[in-house]
Amino acid sequence: QKEVEQNSGPLSVPEGAIASLNCTYSDRGSQSFFWYRQYSGKSPELIMSIYSNGDKEDGRFTAQLNKASQYVSLLIRDSQPSDSATYLCAVRTGGGNKLTFGTGTQLKVEL
Amino acid sequence: GAVVSQHPSWVICKSGTSVKIECRSLDFQATTMFWYRQFPKQSLMLMATSNEGSKATYEQGVEKDKFLINHASLTLSTLTVTSAHPEDSSFYICSARDRTSATDTQYFGPGTRLTVL
């Protein structure tokens, strides 16, 4: 079982719709969770971090964390073509340094 | 805030030469930096963790003598690809951990695209 799992996609949504990206992780000791966006040929950029169970909203983005289910998700409201990218879920365990990344979900927002 | 730079952004070299890539945290001090490699259409692969003032920690399967890492200051880490070969051609990305931020987050540099002829 991979430590951090994401559906590779592509996930296609129409412009203006809500895109829902999901991530599961295997280590129950995981404490910190991050979503990064990576455009083709570019490096990842941080979108959001979340540490506590529940929802965290930032503009059009909402991160949701459920530690009991070992599940973290990212919702993108009012999806735009510029949101088309690969979204990486990353998890940090306990006091460790490293982030463990999922393989990413490719999102395509269609006109 | 939280800007990480890399230099050069791209480099083309001949097989057998060495290439140095610099990673700088511009507006924060980073006791820990990370080096990743990414091949086309593949995910990030962590190569090593760079700790200021001490030896780097390499991931399994990464040759420490081939990928030399130096983290001499709180804002600079370098990766040297020694005796580069075509199979080393890849996108090399560094990241720096900002422990002082409320989110204790890793920020990525823009990456260096290495092509070995």
Q: Which residue has the tokens 């989110």?
A: B103
A60 compared with A95, residue with greater pLDDT = A60
Concatenate the DSSP letters of all residues of B42-106 into one string: S--EEEEEEETTS--EEPTT--TTTEEEEEEETTEEEEEE-S--GGG-EEEEEEEEETTSTT-EE
Model confidence over B39-91: pLDDT tens digits?
988 889 999 999 888 889 999 999 999 999 998 888 999 999 999 999 999 99
Task: Please determine, for residue A96, whether its predicted confidence score (pLDDT) is greater than 90.
Answer: no
Q: What is the pLDDT of residue A1?
A: 64
Q: Choose the closest CB to A98 out of B49, B91, B111.
A: B49
Distance from CA of A72 to the nearest CA of B (A): 17
Dist CA A111 CA A94 (whole Å): 42
Which of B81, B86, B77, B87 lies closest to B25, judged by CA?
B77
Burial class (CB in 10 A: 0-12, 13-18, 19+), B54: exposed
| pLDDT, tens only, A18-52 | 999 999 999 998 989 999 999 999 999 999 999 99
Q: What number is the average pLDDT over the span A87-92?
A: 94
Compute how many other C-beta atoms are within 10 angstroms of the C-beta atom of residue B87: 9
At A83, is the secondary structure helix, strand, or coil?
helix
Q: Maximum CA pair distance of chain B?
A: 44
Q: Tell me what pLDDT residue B53 has.
A: 83
Size of interface A-B (CB pairs under 8 A): 40
The pLDDT value recorded for residue A107 is 97
pLDDT for A104 beyond 80: yes
Looking at the DSSP bridge assignments, the partners of residue B13 are: B116
Of B46, B49, B108, which is closest to A44 when you measure between CB atoms?
A: B108
**Type of residue at A107:** L
What residues of B are in contact with residue A104 (Cβ under 8 Å)?
43
Query: To the nearest whole angstrom, how far is the Cα of B78 from the nearest Cα of chain A?
Result: 17
pLDDT attached to residue B54: 85
> Chain B contacts of A45, Cβ < 8 Å?
108
Query: What pLDDT, on the 0 to 100 scale, is given for residue A94?
Result: 64
Does pLDDT of A80 surpass 80?
yes
pLDDT level of residue B103 (50, 70, 90 thresholds): low
The pLDDT value recorded for residue A98 is 85
* A62 and B CB contact within 8 Å: no
Sheet holding A54-58, edge to edge: A4-5, A19-25, A71-76, A61-66, A54-58
Task: Give A66's DSSP letter.
Answer: E
pLDDT value at A95 more than 80: no
**The predicted structure's pLDDT at residue B52:** 84
